[in-house]
Amino acid sequence: MEYDKNNIFAKILKGEIPCKKIYENDYVLSFHDVNPQKKIHALVIPKGQYTDLDDFVQNAKEKEIYEFFKAISHVAKMLKVSNVDGGYRTLSNIANNGGQEVPHLHFHIFGGEKIGKMVS
């Protein structure tokens, strides 16, 4: 799938749409989901233009991949949901069957309460 430069997360990265920022570095941006499904619902996105996890793993530099996954764990610590704070769930929807709505790679972080069934 070709990357859509006008997707909503691309606009957030460009500063055209506001977000409630949690964390940012040269490689990633993390912000609160606009429509939280749990007490804590954060998103982590790479700054590079990747549609989904498969695109990312195939085309990103190793440093980008390393920084992305490190950032998920870092954000979980910042939000006090890490493995020593009760835990959390991370999730990435991929393409149609995965239920992906925004075509820019993102991982969800759900926490702050019991997350429940793995899939419904």
**List of residues contacting ligand 5GP (CB under 6 A):** 8, 17, 19, 31, 33-35, 93, 99-102
DSSP state, residue 28: E
User: Cα(first)–Cα(last) distance of the chain, in Å?
Assistant: 27
Tokens 């977000």 map to which residue? 19
Q: What is the phi-psi region of residue 19: left when phi exceeds 0, alpha when psi lies from -120 to 50, beta otherwise?
A: beta
CB of 112 to ligand 5GP, least distance (A): 16
Give dist(CA 42, CA 32) in Å, integer. Answer: 4
CB of 117 to ligand 5GP, least distance (A): 17
- Residue 32 is a catalytic residue: no
Nearer to ligand 5GP, 8 or 115 (CB): 8
* Candidates 32, 41, 104, 106; catalytic one: 106
Q: Is residue 111 within 8 Å of 38, Cβ to Cβ?
A: yes
Pick from 39, 66, 55: nearest CA to 94: 55
CB of 110 to ligand 5GP, least distance (A): 10
Nearer to ligand 5GP, 60 or 105 (CB): 105
Nearer to ligand 5GP, 18 or 63 (CB): 18
**Residues with active-site annotation:** 106
